[in-house]
Amino acid sequence: MKGLGFVKLAAIAGMMLSAAMPAPVFAVSKQADNRAETLADYQAFQMKDQVLQQVGLKLARGNAPYCANASLTIGLTLTDMAGYSRPDDVRTALGLKGDFAVATAGGFAQDSLMDAYQIVPDLEITAVDGAKINDWPAKKRLDWRRLKRVHDLVDASLAGNGEVALTLGGGQAVTLYGVPACATRFELKSGGKKALADGARVQFGAEFPGFAYPEDEFAAVVAHELAHNVLEHRKWLNAKGRGRRAIRATEREADRLMPWLLANAGYDPRAAVRFMERWGPKHSKGIFRARTHDGWDERAEFVAAEAEIVQAYLSASGTADWSQHFRRDIAPLGD
């Protein structure tokens, strides 16, 4: 897993462990239908979330110049105690007074600021742009809607003036500045092995096998899902219908865009081929269903051919501008 900043991740993990000792057993839930049974599960979940956010943000940021819907991000996600099944236990374990803390820190946008204020997982946040988010109404448990509202406020604030002010648990205020990224939220769902893209979000189940793969191969599958969003496949399928051929065409495009998205994030475009070869033999009957997707060996061939095209653009110009040079299989809708 080289290149993931694992020294930093290990430091974060160490901090979480020591801050949370002794480890009580409690049930936590990020969303109403999701459950982690122990503190160790929670920490494992948070580590995976951190990896997903870092990889996702690297892709979204690297490809921002080519995304029609780029927007600003600070590369930070929060967590809300109201979303858990036993909020008091989680609050105690994390040492919070209120309900909000940093869940993941992307660690790319402004490392110096992140370091200066130690904006790391579990750090308490009490206000966003002066709005006292603890005062916002929420159900006592298993309510994820308030957290979405807070993330929406962060995005709206960045869209407004490019910055957002956070008030930390100790009362200090810190202003974070947005950087452009393709507009997609990355979400880890506890339980489940699936990956999906719905136009605005890319969501992975925490049991998704790709978390165990080398970083660039995991990035390849994140790129596949991000491709669905940046190519607006959900909108196209809604308009054209979800026939087998239509789905297959969108899947092929998402596969072929993988090496482009990887290249712009600094990854080897051929990692997409390696992902297919590792994934395919075991899982091709899972999320990549047989009737709507080509066989994994065919998919690996398409992707390998595309990776060569990407490599040629990289050698010639140093960029892989898919907004200009990617050959579409479907006719985009236009606006």
Residues that bind Zn ion (CB under 5 A): 251, 254
Q: At its nearest, how many Å lie between Zn ion and the CB of residue 298?
A: 15
d(CA 306, CA 151): 36
Q: List Cβ neighbours of 103 (8 Å cut-off, separation of 6 or more).
A: 46, 49, 77, 78, 79, 121
d(CA 269, CA 311): 8
Q: At its nearest, how many Å lie between Zn ion and the CB of residue 42?
A: 29
Q: At its nearest, how many Å lie between Zn ion and the CB of residue 140?
A: 37
Judged by beta carbon, residue 74 or residue 254, the one nearer Zn ion is 254
Judged by beta carbon, residue 80 or residue 251, the one nearer Zn ion is 251
- CA distances, 58 to each of 22, 107, 317, 322 (Å): 35, 10, 21, 17
With CB atoms as reference, the residue minimizing the distance to Zn ion is 254
d(CA 246, CA 335): 20
Q: At its nearest, how many Å lie between Zn ion and the CB of residue 261?
A: 13
Judged by beta carbon, residue 98 or residue 209, the one nearer Zn ion is 209
Per-residue tokens: 150 = 């807070």
Judged by beta carbon, residue 143 or residue 251, the one nearer Zn ion is 251
Q: List Cβ neighbours of 10 (8 Å cut-off, separation of 6 or more).
A: none
Q: At its nearest, how many Å lie between Zn ion and the CB of residue 114?
A: 32
CB 267 within 8 A of CB 217: no
d(CA 199, CA 11): 34
Per-residue tokens: 312 = 């040629």
Judged by beta carbon, residue 100 or residue 186, the one nearer Zn ion is 186
Judged by beta carbon, residue 111 or residue 207, the one nearer Zn ion is 207
Judged by beta carbon, residue 49 or residue 251, the one nearer Zn ion is 251
Judged by beta carbon, residue 2 or residue 327, the one nearer Zn ion is 327
Q: At its nearest, how many Å lie between Zn ion and the CB of residue 254?
A: 5
Q: At its nearest, how many Å lie between Zn ion and the CB of residue 228?
A: 6
Long-range Cβ pairs for the range 196-203 (8 Å, 24+): 196/225, 197/225, 197/226, 197/227, 197/228, 197/229, 197/233, 197/234, 198/229, 198/234, 199/228, 199/229, 199/232, 199/233, 199/234, 199/235, 200/229, 201/229, 202/56, 202/226, 202/229
Judged by beta carbon, residue 251 or residue 306, the one nearer Zn ion is 251
Q: List Cβ neighbours of 70 (8 Å cut-off, separation of 6 or more).
A: 64, 180, 181, 182, 183
Nearest to 279 by CA among 265, 258, 260: 258
Q: At its nearest, how many Å lie between Zn ion and the CB of residue 332?
A: 17
CB 100 within 8 A of CB 148: no
Q: At its nearest, how many Å lie between Zn ion and the CB of residue 144?
A: 25
Residue with tokens 């091709």: 284
